Amino acid sequence: MAARRHCWILVGLASGCARPELAELDQRLAAVEVRAEQQQAERESATRELSEQLEALERRIAAIEEHALRSRELNDGLGRALDELVGEIQRLRKLHGDVGPGRFRKGEKAPVGLSALEIRQHATAQGDPHMGAFTLHEALAGDPALADRSRGKLVATFRTNHGDFDCTLHEDDAPATVANFVGLARGTRSWLEASSGRWVERPLYDGTIFHRVIDRFMIQGGDPEGTGRGDIGYVIADELVEGLEHRPGALSMANRGSNTASSQFFIMVSHSPHLDGKHSIFGQCDAKVPEAIATVPVDHRAGDRPIDPVVIDQVLISRKKSR
């Protein structure tokens, strides 16, 4: 600094500059140097701050990775525990055949209003391998992706000859009803085949029809006989959830009265509050295709059966994340 000023003085004397001009140049140079020092200090401060932020991010990433590892271990542990629990349930079913048929006879249609125990006794009398009890874990068996809730909500995709549509299933609000539907759709829930008299494990809904269609009301399907009078050998208890309403797109179980639902379902195309509290709502569908199906010509003398069959080619179960 002093050397530079000395040079400026020599230059000034040699060029005949007045001392005030030299002083001004000296001040400007000093100001530039001060500003340069300030900028250097600011850069060093910013570098330290950025370094601290990077270190903090690295710590967060490490914590997240550790948490993810623990979560995977926890999920694996829960999966093994559930498998063991299901195995124990199945073992107890075989061991405790004492659930027994109760007062029911083979071939007898389930009466209205059975209790939970009577539902199991009736199913046992019909030869149900599950003895009237079936869980969502059993319904999803064989596909780890379906059991992984991080993949999204449980969805049923209906593929029909009138177009495809999705229904999001209420696995938390109506777990037993969803388990029954998913099990029948995937073929993991046994059902009584009327034509052979045997209990079978294959997708029930594939190739069935919407046998009852009422415009501005609902479309109904799920009967392997295609008549609305089919019997698959067992019934399930109602799951009537407050707050779920029969609005357009609602997926609900058909029944003959309290606790008589089995495989048949219907999809609403109108708001029908008189059904609330009487039928188990277990999903919500995209209503566009069902609304179109509801307008097809029907034979009113044949129970509102479509003149040209409306076929459910397939019901696929998957998980999808909300968009």
Instruction: Cite the active site residues.
Output: 212, 217, 220, 255, 266, 275, 279
| H or E segment and range at residue 218 | strand 218-221
E strands within 229-294?
A: 250-253, 265-268, 281-285
For tokens 């208890």, name the residue: 237
CB atoms within 10 A of CB 48: 10
Residue 16 gets the label, from left (phi > 0), alpha (psi -120 to 50) or beta, of left
Kindly state the tokens that stand for 263. Answer: 């495989």
| H or E segment and range at residue 298 | strand 298-299
Of the candidates 128, 110, 114, the one whose C-alpha atom is nearest the C-alpha of residue 231 is 110
Give backbone dihedrals phi and psi of 286, rounded to 5 degrees, phi first. -65, 125
E strands within 92-197?
A: 153-160, 163-169, 191-193
Distance CA 61, CA 76 (A): 22
Dihedral sign for Cα atoms in the order 313, 315, 321, 323: positive
Of the candidates 99, 201, 199, 184, the one whose C-alpha atom is nearest the C-alpha of residue 136 is 184
